[in-house]
């Protein structure tokens, strides 16, 4: 038995047989052909390119149909690369001049280019390297008669399969839409990268960034995937497998019960309403969120519209999208976060100068304030759409009061320009900020004078407070919201907001984790924004607790000094309140 950890992307528990997908790193033996057969190899290459192009276009169309036009734009980069003579001509030259077979030529040229991109160091070039390797796989699949994936051979009987891959591209992830796929695990990848977005939409547990899973697994091995906690168990003992099966069953029963309450209110036993809103990246998520009875959108990560496109979306397109979102919400609140680019989120088309420390670099609102034409275009679209519903605007990664003021002034300035041009713009749009930098949390009282509302982003707040990269497995044990310093920061932010009657919400991943629901209520939060699919289970906790008990719990755990102690106390309490799920680690 091997127990591994990674980044949880989509929740739930699954058990199934491992199905290892072909590894993109695999290199072919170098084969050559005599001069008279070289043209034949060039012809084969051209036929393979045409077939790959067709396959790519078909995948694009399917994703567009299933996930909408924004997600489908991911494929446009691949389509452009596939037609790029800078990639294809050197491959042909390898055949004509060095006599390589078509497959060897593709393997060498594409691997060299990917290697060159990787060596450039920054995330944007690593993404390009992945695109190149994805294409390589496609073309080799055509040339060597391999299938893109091995799903066609998955037997109809048995528990189904857990797909394991070193690295998936968005195209691979989209191809996993198959009723025998029970879960997906990859070695590379972060929670918010493109592949994870597509994989999460499959509706099965997904864990990415799970180091060593390929080396540790073999086809047919029993694999447990806990997509809630980011845990993977390879060849579990019978006892462990049984405990996970029991937990899976409990979760399924609980999910079915909680879903029946989608139309009911999120109110505690003593009558306090806890507003539950959804975090979304794409507009297509809104109907699902409404089905779960969400009060609105507490975090709309607008950068994904830019990330899935090769070029910056124009103002009219953005206005249309934002209006669509507001209309779909039919009067419910939409908290739109302005562009949060930078760090791990770069657009493909922007040739950004690599930074030595991108998470501490030019990202989010800092980037927007230094790239005002792009920022202004977004703000114009946001304001033009504002008349279509109940909008709030929120700036990410605000570090100083001056920065917030500057961003707000810019927004006012853009509103004035629009009115001068004859556009209608809503009045009194609340303008708030993410609290996700320790300086902002510590200085929350000052920010509460200038911001209309706060949304606490614990994903980044944890990373910056405990100095741990949220995507780095080697220090993942230090990355936890149960750190006493984090709890103190959250409490001081809710207090500062309360003193000025400013609404405060939380939109980091802990809002989706039932382990923390009571604690967050106890720390003063009355509004949570979370992964839409997890709203029913969080609401179930809300409906079973009293605020006073939550406050007592919060008082008790904030007095503790260790993460372990805090987590233990929270899990014990959860087990009492929600015995159907039990503490999340009871199977481990």
| Least distance between ligand PEP and beta carbon 458 (Å) | 5
Q: Which of 189/508 has CB closer to ligand PEP?
A: 508
Q: Which of 187/460 has CB closer to Mg ion?
A: 460
CA distance 558 to 259: 32
Stretch of 163-171, 199-207, 409-417, 449-457 contacting Mg ion, by CB under 5 A = 449-457
Q: What angle do CA 500, 506, 507 make, to 5 degrees?
A: 140
> Out of ligand PEP, Mg ion, none, which partner does residue 301 contact, by CB within 5 to 8 A per kind?
ligand PEP
Contact characters 504-523, ligand PEP, x per CB under 6 A? ---xx---------------
| Termini Cα distance of the chain | 12
Which of 78, 368, 388, 507 is an active site residue? 507
Helix (H) or strand (E) holding 380: helix 372-385
> Out of ligand PEP, Mg ion, none, which partner does residue 508 contact, by CB within 5 to 8 A per kind?
ligand PEP
Q: Would you count residue 344 as binding ligand PEP (CB under 6 A)?
A: no
| Least distance between Mg ion and beta carbon 477 (Å) | 21
Interface pick for ligand PEP out of 285, 460, 540, 563 (rule CB under 6 A): 460
Q: Which of 457/522 has CB closer to Mg ion?
A: 457
- Note the helical H segments in 34-168: 38-67, 69-72, 74-82, 85-98, 102-119, 123-144
Q: Would you count residue 465 as binding ligand PEP (CB under 6 A)?
A: no
| Least distance between Mg ion and beta carbon 418 (Å) | 28
Sheet hosting strand 222-226, strand order edge to edge: 2-5, 231-234, 222-226, 13-20, 161-165, 181-186, 206-208, 7-10
Q: Would you count residue 380 as binding ligand PEP (CB under 6 A)?
A: no
- Known catalytic residue: 292? no
Q: Cα dihedral sign for 383, 389, 394, 395? A: negative
Contact characters 282-321, ligand PEP, x per CB under 6 A? -----------------x-x--------------------
How many C-beta atoms lie closer than 10 Å to residue 146's C-beta? 12
Q: Would you count residue 439 as binding ligand PEP (CB under 6 A)?
A: no
CA distance 156 to 179: 10
CA distances from residue 214 to 141, 429, 430 in whole angstroms, order as listed: 21, 50, 48
> Out of Mg ion, ligand PEP, none, which partner does residue 230 contact, by CB within 5 to 8 A per kind?
none
For residue 259, which of 516, 47, 537 has the smallest C-alpha distance? Answer: 537
Q: Are 329 and 323 in contact (CB under 8 A)?
A: no
Site for ligand PEP in 517-576 (CB under 6 A): none
What the block records as the tokens of 323 is: 């209006």
Residues that bind Mg ion (CB under 5 A): 436, 457, 460
Task: Give the residue numbers annotated as catalytic, written as ranges.
Answer: 194, 507
Residues that bind ligand PEP (CB under 6 A): 299, 301, 340, 436, 457-460, 507-508
């Amino acid at each position: 038995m091997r127990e591994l950890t990674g980044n949880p992307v989509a929740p739930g528990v699954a058990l199934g047989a491992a199905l290892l997908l072909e590894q993109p790193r695999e290199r072919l033996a170098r084969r050559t052909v005599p001069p008279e057969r070289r043209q034949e190899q060039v012809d084969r290459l051209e036929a393979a390119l045409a077939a790959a192009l067709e396959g790519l276009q078909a995948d694009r169309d399917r994703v567009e149909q299933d996930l909408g036009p924004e997600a489908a734009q991911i494929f446009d980069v691949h389509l452009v690369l596939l037609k790029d003579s800078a990639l294809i001509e050197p491959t042909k030259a390898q055949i004509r001049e060095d006599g390589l077979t078509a497959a060897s030529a593709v393997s060498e040229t594409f691997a060299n280019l990917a290697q060159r991109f990787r060596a450039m160091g920054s995330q944007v070039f690593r993404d390009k390297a992945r695109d190149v390797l994805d294409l390589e796989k496609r073309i080799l699949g055509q040339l060597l008669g391999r299938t893109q994936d091995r799903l066609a051979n998955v037997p109809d009987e048995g528990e189904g399969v857990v797909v394991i891959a070193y690295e998936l591209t968005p195209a691979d992830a989209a191809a996993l839409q198959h009723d025998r796929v029970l879960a997906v695990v990859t070695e590379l990848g972060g929670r918010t990268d493109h592949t994870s977005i597509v994989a999460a939409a499959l509706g099965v547990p997904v864990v990415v960034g799970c180091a060593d899973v390929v080396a540790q697994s073999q086809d047919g091995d029993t694999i447990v995937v806990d997509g809630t906690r980011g845990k993977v168990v390879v060849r579990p003992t019978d006892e462990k497998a049984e405990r996970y099966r029991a937990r899976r069953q409990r979760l399924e029963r609980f999910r079915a019960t909680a879903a029946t309450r989608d139309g009911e209110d999120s109110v505690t036993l003593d009558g306090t309403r806890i507003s539950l809103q959804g975090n979304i990246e794409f507009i297509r998520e809104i109907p699902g969120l409404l089905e779960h009875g969400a009060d609105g959108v507490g975090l709309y990560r607008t950068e994904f519209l830019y990330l899935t496109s090769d070029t910056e979306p124009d103002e009219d397109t953005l206005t249309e999208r934002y209006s669509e979102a507001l209309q779909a919400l039919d009067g419910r609140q939409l908290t739109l976060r302005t562009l949060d680019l930078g760090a791990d989120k770069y657009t493909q088309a922007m040739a950004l100068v690599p930074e030595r420390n991108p998470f501490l670099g030019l990202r989010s609102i800092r980037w927007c304030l230094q790239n005002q034409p792009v920022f202004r275009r977004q703000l114009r679209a946001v304001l033009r759409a504002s008349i279509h519903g109940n909008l709030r605007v929120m700036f990410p990664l605000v570090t100083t009061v001056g920065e917030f003021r500057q961003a707000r002034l810019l927004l006012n300035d853009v509103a004035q320009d629009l009115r001068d041009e004859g556009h209608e713009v809503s009045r009194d749009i609340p303008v708030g900020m993410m609290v996700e930098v320790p300086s902002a949390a510590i200085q929350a009282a000052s920010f509460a004078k200038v911001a209309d509302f706060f949304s606490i982003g614990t994903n980044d707040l944890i990373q910056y407070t405990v100095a741990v990269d949220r995507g780095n497995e080697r220090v993942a044990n230090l990355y936890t919201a149960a750190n006493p310093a984090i709890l103190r920061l959250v409490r001081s932010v809710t207090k500062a907001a309360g003193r000025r009657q400013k609404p405060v919400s939380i939109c980091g991943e802990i809002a989706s984790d039932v382990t923390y629901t009571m604690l967050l209520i106890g720390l003063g939060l009355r509004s949570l924004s979370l992964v839409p699919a997890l709203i029913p289970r969080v609401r179930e906790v809300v409906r079973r607790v009293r605020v006073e008990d939550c406050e007592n719990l919060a008082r008790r755990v904030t007095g503790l000094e260790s993460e372990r102690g805090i987590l233990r106390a929270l899990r014990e309490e959860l087990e009492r309140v929600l015995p159907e799920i039990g503490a999340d680690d009871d199977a481990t």
